[in-house]
Homo-oligomer: A and B are copies of this chain.
């Protein structure tokens, strides 16, 4: 079946889909409001780690421009800033990697164009929707910007929060020593927030992203309103003093004489209201628009799931487009049936981690500190959020998981004895 797909938005979801379709001989057109050369000087977009399932998709697309092993990190370093601090690590089966999206996205756009892909640069307003729907056999909406995102209605049963649960303060910094081998640190200051330290390839080589997830009302909240341009010294001094108090293992990696934003525009402040939306709009003609990525489910960045889910869903959508005999509402249903469990699980897991930890979650943390196999499984499940959700959805499930892992450990001790 000859078909033409319109993709509005050039984030990771839109680009992975476009490249997938291109690779499979399906005509795809990207429509976005930002050209590749506009990324270089823009403000930091986000902080994103790609887990190995996403990297495998990049390999399949032939866009593995960042395959140097030195760019990858192999494990999560967990730190809990309790009076008696808790620290443990969890290893992935295969490493993850973070590349600044101001490099990543335009590189993929150029890959797509070099291979003959078409990108149109414009914003989509209300009046543009009907002509777009008519023009393509299927419209993929992978940007929440503008009038298109509003077509997709909320799913309140999967959107438990009306407000951001963290006040985000995200920056790319130089002057933070990389451990050898590299890792991502997940540092928790109970009651105040979490910080995810991500070794990230940016314009001048490796830097560290500090993704600070600050609890509203906590001691770290003020970071979300610091202004670098107005008072650089105050910005850095305040940040350093907060790191020293709340995230000391990361503070210990800092060379104060070098510590600074990698570039002045390399920080972001704000907050996400985690939201799941219905994914399909049917127009009078019978043609459909389908949501991909954040328009479908936007999550707080704490668990690093947003981009990985967008890439996952892009491949599901791409595979289904390639084999579809029609791009109608039944098609969209088929796509949703395949992608919804993982996408929803990422949202549910993230939303759960934003809530104050249950006793069972506390027991899981303590158990992970004592049992590396458990911590490894938790870490690997960053690739498979549906598996994580199967383990942590309820206190009963957490306890069942702990029992399984401790039985397995006891059995292996007996076998070794």
> Which A residues are within 8 Å of any B CB, using their own CB?
1, 286, 325-326, 328, 330, 334, 337, 340-341, 389-391, 393-394, 396-397, 400-401, 404
Given A337-B337, A341-B337, check contact A326 B400 (CB 8 Å): yes
Among B326, B328, B394, B400, contact of A1 (Cβ-Cβ < 8 Å): B400
Given A337-B337, A341-B337, check contact A330 B400 (CB 8 Å): no
Among B326, B330, B337, B389, contact of A330 (Cβ-Cβ < 8 Å): B389
Closest chain-B Cβ to A180's Cβ sits at a distance in Å of 38
Closest chain-B Cβ to A160's Cβ sits at a distance in Å of 15
Question: How far apart are the CA atoms of A396 and B328 in the complex, in Å?
Answer: 9
Give the nearest-CB partner of A324 in chain B.
B390
Question: How far apart are the CA atoms of A1 and B390 in the complex, in Å?
Answer: 15
Query: What residues of chain B lie closer than 8 Å to A391, measured between beta carbons?
Result: 325
Given A325-B390, A325-B404, check contact A397 B330 (CB 8 Å): yes
* Contact between chains at B325 and A393 (CB < 8 Å): no
Among B328, B390, B397, contact of A397 (Cβ-Cβ < 8 Å): B328
Question: How far apart are the CA atoms of A9 and B301 in the complex, in Å?
Answer: 47
Closest chain-B Cβ to A99's Cβ sits at a distance in Å of 33
Give the nearest-CB partner of A337 in chain B.
B341
* Contact between chains at A326 and B404 (CB < 8 Å): no
* Contact between chains at A396 and B341 (CB < 8 Å): no
Query: What residues of chain B lie closer than 8 Å to A286, measured between beta carbons?
Result: 394, 396
Question: How far apart are the CA atoms of A326 and B394 in the complex, in Å?
Answer: 9
Closest chain-B Cβ to A29's Cβ sits at a distance in Å of 22
Query: What residues of chain B lie closer than 8 Å to A325, measured between beta carbons?
Result: 390-391, 397, 400-401, 404
Complex A-B, nearest 4 residue pairs according to Cβ-Cβ distance, in ascending order = A330-B393, A325-B400, A326-B397, A337-B341
Closest chain-B Cβ to A117's Cβ sits at a distance in Å of 26
* Contact between chains at A328 and B394 (CB < 8 Å): yes
Question: How far apart are the CA atoms of A404 and B391 in the complex, in Å?
Answer: 45
Closest chain-B Cβ to A321's Cβ sits at a distance in Å of 14
Give the nearest-CB partner of A404 in chain B.
B325
Question: How far apart are the CA atoms of A404 and B397 in the complex, in Å?
Answer: 48
* Contact between chains at B330 and A396 (CB < 8 Å): no
Closest chain-B Cβ to A386's Cβ sits at a distance in Å of 9
Among B330, B334, B340, contact of A394 (Cβ-Cβ < 8 Å): B330
Instruction: Provide 18 A-B residue pairs closer than 8 Å at the C-beta atoms, listed in order of the A residue.
Output: A1-B400, A286-B394, A286-B396, A325-B400, A325-B401, A326-B394, A326-B396, A326-B397, A328-B393, A328-B394, A328-B396, A328-B397, A330-B389, A330-B390, A330-B394, A334-B341, A334-B390, A337-B340
Question: How far apart are the CA atoms of A1 and B404 in the complex, in Å?
Answer: 9
User: Looking at A330, A389, A391, A401, which has the most chain B CB atoms within 10 Å of its CB?
Assistant: A330
Give the nearest-CB partner of A344 in chain B.
B333
Query: What residues of chain B lie closer than 8 Å to A390, measured between beta carbons?
Result: 325, 330, 334
Query: What residues of chain B lie closer than 8 Å to A397, measured between beta carbons?
Result: 325-326, 328, 330
Question: How far apart are the CA atoms of A326 and B399 in the complex, in Å?
Answer: 10
Query: What residues of chain B lie closer than 8 Å to A401, measured between beta carbons?
Result: 325
Query: What residues of chain B lie closer than 8 Å to A330, measured between beta carbons?
Result: 389-390, 393-394, 397
